[in-house]
């Protein structure tokens, strides 16, 4: 009796992730497949174990199986999978598509759960011809239902997992890889549940704090800040880079270890997480206070971003993030035109209390004398008058020149100054130490590269080493230059203290000698309780803040100034004598 030829089969185990494969291993699925093959006397010619999601239409694992079947020198008749949910999780339509592709190659699909039954002709007992509609699997409906259940089950699992993660994020916890500068820390609650919060990375946190502090001070450009941070030894975090081989992760290299750039600095500065605020799509792009402290305060974050991103704390304790905050009228004073020819326009008109205007209109003589003026405009409905620029600015400078800090202010300021300066000195010493440590590491790398160069004969390797040594030398020089710039000497301290004392004795130096009109207006706002008019300055009657007083020389010359103020009032060109008299009567002057 002729023995039937043994048929061939392949087994296709699949897991969605490495973690899932640890529970229901690929080996377990293969074992079940071999039991089915043995019971039917099939020969297993190949096993395709893959880590791959069953929710994807493009399946590398299925492509490999089909390619193997097409190229096989022996006939393969059977395809074995553990179950329909291991075959696909895209529902009945995709299940039938994959199954049809295999059947076109002459394969029969089997599952170890026994759901799939093979097609047969249901009219074979009556006729020999096969009608397409009479040739089908009796388990087709059950297969479709099981495939749909697999799809729904996968969706339920993912929905349940992601829903829990979203709730945690909206409550201020972390669920994914932390932002650079943080590490994850597990926190256990009374109910035994574990949640994750951010904790400062003890090795890298110093770089991010320095980025925000240096930018918040506002006296360095982004390029200078980047140079300072890099000189301290900053390199982007080194992370493992993985590829995939049959769906399994495989380490193929590393990424990171790069110096900071200006664009990277600007991206880092705008991340609210560093201020302890979570804002992402899972929070509906609304700010949520994190369940852990930020690396820097909200105030420092706002100063560092300079209005680009602004975290606003509402009265009810909620947060709000504003973009391009300087565009909001309530956050910034009315814009001044930076015209250095009329830098004291922000002093108000004595009649309408609006800022003065400045121009050099043509006079009858054909000249263009510069003047401050106001009136005869739709928004300034009073008679026009003007004051020569020389007299206007001269009176302001003379008054400001007589200002002095009060004795109490000087004493308190010196105490605060000493504390602030020593704090800053400590920061500089710390940064200098970090740079020195970085220089030491770079020199050690350079020495190692030089040792390797001396024993290497390969021209290609020698060229690479020379390039590496040159790059290390460049980094060393930049770091040493940065260290020399920030180191504080005793001479620097004495010069700084001397300058501060001079400024304290002559506050007019900081009020008059500044190029930024907005900054100048702010400084004048600190001197006066309310910005005075030109006439109040002439009369010597502005209301000063508690920190300032007038010098004794001003009191002696006050009578002369009052006399000039009367004549100066008469020089308010354009005002009719009767109108000017009414203004005096109404105490407008």
d(CA 588, CA 580): 9
User: pLDDT tens string for the chain (589 positions)?
Assistant: 445 678 999 999 988 776 666 666 788 889 999 999 999 999 999 999 888 777 777 788 888 889 999 999 899 999 999 988 888 888 888 888 888 889 888 889 999 988 888 877 667 667 676 677 776 778 888 888 888 888 888 888 889 999 999 999 999 999 989 999 999 999 887 777 889 999 999 999 999 999 999 888 877 888 889 988 888 889 898 888 877 665 556 777 888 888 999 999 999 999 999 999 999 999 999 999 999 999 999 999 998 998 889 999 888 888 999 988 764 434 344 444 567 788 888 888 988 888 889 888 888 888 889 999 999 888 888 889 999 999 998 888 888 888 777 766 666 666 666 666 667 667 777 777 777 777 777 777 777 777 777 777 777 777 777 787 888 788 888 777 776 666 655 456 556 666 666 666 667 777 776 666 667 777 777 778 788 888 888 888 888 776 667 765 555 555 544 444 444 444 455 555 554 444 444 343 3
Sign of the CA dihedral 280, 282, 286, 291? Answer: negative
State the angle between helix axes of 298-305 and 205-217 in degrees (0 to 180), rounded to the nearest 10. 60
Tell me how far the alpha carbon of residue 572 is from its chain's centroid: 55
pLDDT at residue 485, rounded to an integer: 66
State the residue for tokens 């009767």.
578
Q: How far is CA 503 from CA 233, 497, 553, in A?
A: 37, 10, 19
What sign results for the dihedral spanned by CA atoms 578, 582, 587, 589?
A: negative
Question: How many helices (H) and strands (E) are present in the chain, helices listed first?
Answer: 19, 21
Superfamily covering domain 8-126+137-152: Resolvase, N-terminal catalytic domain (3.40.50.1390)
Contact by Cβ (8 Å): 573, 386: yes
Residue 468: the pLDDT is 79
Q: What is the pTM of this model?
A: 0.56
Residue 228 structure tokens: 């300072």
Compute, in degrees rounded to 10, the torsion defined by CA atoms 388, 389, 392, 393. -160
Structure tokens at 585: 């009567």
The pLDDT assigned to 293 comes to 92
Residue of 377, 372, 385, 370 whose CA lies nearest to 588: 385
Cα gap 564→250, rounded to integer Å: 88
* Domain coordinates in residue numbering, the chain: 8-126+137-152, 182-331, 340-401+509-585, 407-506
Encoded tokens for 524: 């004048």
Which CATH class for the 182-331 domain? alpha beta
Instruction: Report the run of H or E that residue 386 belongs to, with start and end.
Output: strand 385-388
Q: Which single residue is written with the structure tokens 């000189």?
A: 231
Instruction: Write the DSSP string, 539-569.
Output: HT---B-TTEEE-HHHHHHHHHHHHHHHHHH
Q: Are 210 and 424 contacting, i.e. CB atoms less than 8 angstroms apart?
A: no
Q: What is the pLDDT of residue 561?
A: 47
What local confidence, expressed as pLDDT, does residue 367 receive? 87
């Amino acid at each position: 009796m002729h023995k039937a030829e043994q048929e061939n089969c392949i087994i296709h185990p699949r897991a969605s992730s490495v973690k899932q494969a640890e529970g229901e291993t690929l080996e377990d699925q293969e074992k079940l497949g071999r039991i089915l093959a043995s019971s039917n006397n099939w020969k297993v010619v190949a096993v395709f174990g893959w880590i791959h999601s069953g929710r994807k239409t493009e399946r590398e694992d299925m492509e490999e199986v089909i390619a193997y079947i097409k190229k096989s020198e022996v006939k393969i008749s059977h395809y074995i999978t553990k179950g329909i949910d291991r075959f696909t999780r895209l529902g009945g339509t995709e299940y039938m598509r994959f199954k049809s592709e295999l059947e076109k190659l002459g394969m029969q699909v089997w599952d170890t759960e026994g759901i799939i039954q093979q097609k047969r002709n249901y009219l074979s007992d009556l006729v020999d011809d096969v009608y397409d509609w009479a040739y089908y699997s009796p388990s087709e409906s059950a297969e479709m239902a099981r495939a749909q259940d697999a799809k729904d089950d996968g969706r339920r699992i993912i929905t349940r997992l992601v829903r829990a993660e979203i709730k945690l994020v909206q409550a201020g916890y972390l669920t994914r890889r932390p932002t650079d500068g943080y590490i994850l820390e597990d926190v256990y609650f009374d109910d035994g549940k574990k949640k994750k919060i951010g904790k400062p990375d003890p090795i890298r946190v110093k770089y991010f704090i320095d980025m925000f502090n240096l930018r918040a001070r506002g006296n360095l450009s982004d390029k200078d800040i980047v140079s300072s941070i890099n000189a301290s030894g900053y390199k982007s975090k080194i992370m493992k880079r993985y590829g995939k081989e049959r769906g399994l992760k495989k380490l193929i290299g590393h990424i990171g270890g790069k110096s900071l750039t200006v664009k990277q600095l600007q991206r880092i500065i705008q991340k609210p997480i560093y201020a302890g605020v979570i804002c992402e799509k899972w929070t509906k792009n609304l700010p949520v206070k994190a369940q852990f402290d930020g690396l820097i305060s909200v105030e420092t974050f706002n100063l560092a971003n300079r209005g680009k991103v602004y975290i606003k704390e509402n009265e009810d304790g909620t947060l709000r993030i504003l973009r391009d905050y300087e565009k909001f009228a309530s956050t910034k004073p009315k814009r001044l035109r930076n015209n250095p020819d009329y830098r004291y326009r922000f002093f108000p008109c004595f009649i309408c209390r609006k800022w003065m205007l400045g121009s050099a209109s043509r006079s009858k003589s054909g000249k263009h004398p510069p003047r401050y003026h106001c009136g005869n405009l739709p928004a300034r409905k009073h008679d026009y008058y003007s004051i020569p620029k020389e007299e206007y600015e001269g009176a302001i400078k003379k008054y400001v020149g007589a200002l002095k800090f009060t004795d109490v202010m000087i004493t308190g300021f010196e105490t605060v100054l000493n504390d602030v300066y020593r704090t800053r000195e400590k920061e500089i010493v710390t940064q200098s130490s970090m740079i020195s440590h970085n220089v030491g590491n770079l020199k050690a790398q350079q020495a190692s590269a030089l040792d390797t160069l001396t024993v290497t004969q390969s021209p290609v390797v020698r060229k690479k080493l020379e390039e590496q040594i040159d790059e290390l030398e460049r980094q060393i020089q930049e770091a040493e230059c940065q260290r020399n710039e920030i180191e504080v000497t005793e001479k620097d301290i004495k010069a700084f203290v001397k300058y501060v004392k001079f400024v304290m004795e002559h506050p007019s130096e900081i009020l008059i000698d500044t190029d930024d009109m907005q900054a100048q207006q702010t400084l004048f706002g600190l001197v006066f309780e309310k910005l005075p008019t030109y006439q109040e300055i002439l009369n010597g009657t502005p209301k000063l803040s508690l920190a300032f007083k007038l010098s004794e020389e001003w009191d002696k010359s006050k009578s002369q100034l009052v006399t000039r103020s009367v004549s100066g009032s008469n020089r308010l060109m354009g005002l009719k004598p009767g109108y000017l008299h009414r203004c005096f009567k109404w105490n407008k002057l």
